[in-house]
Structure 1
Amino acid sequence: MTDPLRVLILDDDFRVGELHRGIVDEQPGFRALEPVRTIAEARDGLHASRPDLLLADVYLPDGDGIALVRETAVDAILISAADDGPTVRRALRSGAVGYLRKPFDRRGLTGLLERYARYRNLLAGDRPVPQEDVDRALAILHGSGEPVTVSRSATEQLVLAALGDGEASAAEVGERVGISRATAQRHLAALAARTVVEVRLRYGATGRPEHRYAART
């Protein structure tokens, strides 16, 4: 079974940290580590646990969360009450893959985590990444609509029809439509980026989680 993505949460308010921990643990494919409350604790946790993702506040008792993100090689999402443009721009310049303002609806974080998982899966491995996958990954991560390089096609309509009211893998869709698994995967990813279809992860006994697709109603 593929290990879930491990998330380190950094917030000086332990109640907020535990709240975020609960949201992360409820999200399929993710597991929250013990939350930390200071930059120093976060550095220790990053070194010892090697998390896949850091959720960090900006203003902390012993330093600046944005500066921490800049110095680490771990993907990070900044969660803060700071709503001024310079702080947000500084956060994005630091390399953060997302910025979420407090207070936020639970769906704000779960949606961002879901998009991050899809973004990470699309860019997984050491294979060469075509430009269309780069465009799609960025569109997924930032929750934007249709990437400029992707358009609705007759094949996509067939792919949607093949899904029907149930769910299926890319291989199953390809077999139904009469196209290769790779082609079906490309069309399904494009539809998912536009939120036309929903991506679900199914964990088996071994290997990577299987991606299942279902048309949104």
Structure 2
Amino acid sequence: MTEPIRVLIVDDDFRVADLHRDIVDERPGFATLPPARSMGEARTAIRRDAPDLLLVDVYLPDGDGIDLVRSAGLDAIVLSAASDAPTVRRALRAGALSYIIKPFERRALVERLDRYARARNLLAEDRPLTQESLDRAFALLHVAGEPASVSRTATEQLILSTLGDAESTATEIAEEAGLSRATAQRHLAALAGRGEIEVRLRYGTTGRPEHLYVRPGG
């Protein structure tokens, strides 16, 4: 029998932690450890229980949850009310697989958990991985399939925060957000397809028109 994915929830609000614990425990193949209320408790639990996945809040009474993600060396998803671009960027750079802004609907976390389990299975094979398997795993971890209001990816949230209310090109957004231009363009296309941003054309004196991205009404 396959061992369940052991999840440690790190959140100082016991009501929120219990809610997230209920969501995780309902998913087949997952099992939660007793939640940690602080950085200190989390580090003790990590040493003692060796969890597979962390669900971490940013604001903890004795430190920064993103620092825990960086130092733990474990798979982690950040769940936080912090929605500013610098915090999201820090989480991604620290190694967070995903970032969900509180409050969120139950299915937002369910989707992340299900995708994580599928990606983990792809990466757990003993034989050498193919590029196709790697691509599928990365796609599962970093591309959301739910409506944006529920399951917007961390990268999409970062792009929207970077965009603000001004018109910007894909290159400008990529540079500001610390992304490659190809990554920025891919997520901009997804956001535009869902109507979360608009694409406008700016015609110069020569060459092709330049694409500008802006929030609706901006």
State the TM-score, normalized to the length of structure 2. 0.65
Q: In structure 2, what is the equivalent of residue 114 of structure 1? A: 114
Q: In structure 1, what is the equivalent of residue 50 of structure 2? A: 50
Map residues 1-217 of structure 1 onto 2, 5 A cutoff. 1-144=1-144
- The RMSD of aligned alpha carbons is 1.1
Which stretches of structure 1, 4 residues or more, deviate above 3 A after TM superposition?
none
**Rounded Cα–Cα distance in structure 2 between residues aligned with 1:106 and 1:144:** 15
Structure 2: tracts of 5 or more residues without a match: 146-218
8 Å contact kept, 1:79–1:102: yes
Say which SS state the counterpart of residue 124 (structure 2) adopts. coil
**Rounded Cα–Cα distance in structure 2 between residues aligned with 1:128 and 1:47:** 30
Q: In structure 2, what is the equivalent of residue 155 of structure 1? A: none
Q: In structure 2, what is the equivalent of residue 182 of structure 1? A: none
**Rounded Cα–Cα distance in structure 1 between residues aligned with 2:25 and 2:136:** 27
8 Å contact kept, 1:69–1:94: yes
**Rounded Cα–Cα distance in structure 2 between residues aligned with 1:131 and 1:4:** 27
8 Å contact kept, 1:115–1:143: no
Of 120-129 and 91-100, deviating more is 120-129
Say which SS state the counterpart of residue 8 (structure 2) adopts. strand
Structure 1: tracts of 5 or more residues without a match: 146-217
* Residues matched between the structures, number: 145
Say which SS state the counterpart of residue 99 (structure 2) adopts. strand
**Rounded Cα–Cα distance in structure 2 between residues aligned with 1:37 and 1:127:** 39
8 Å contact kept, 1:21–1:32: yes
**Rounded Cα–Cα distance in structure 2 between residues aligned with 1:104 and 1:144:** 14
Letter matched to residue 73 of structure 2: A
**Rounded Cα–Cα distance in structure 2 between residues aligned with 1:126 and 1:45:** 28
Say which SS state the counterpart of residue 134 (structure 2) adopts. helix
8 Å contact kept, 1:78–1:100: yes
Say which SS state the counterpart of residue 116 (structure 1) adopts. helix
Deviation for aligned residue 1:144: 4.8
**Rounded Cα–Cα distance in structure 2 between residues aligned with 1:21 and 1:127:** 34
Say which SS state the counterpart of residue 128 (structure 1) adopts. coil
Deviation for aligned residue 1:128: 1.7
Letter matched to residue 102 of structure 1: K
Name the CA shift for 1:144/1:17 in 2 (closer, same or farther; >3 Å).
closer
Instruction: State the identity as a percent.
Output: 64
Higher RCO (CA-CA < 8 Å; seq separation 6+) = 1
**Rounded Cα–Cα distance in structure 2 between residues aligned with 1:19 and 1:144:** 22
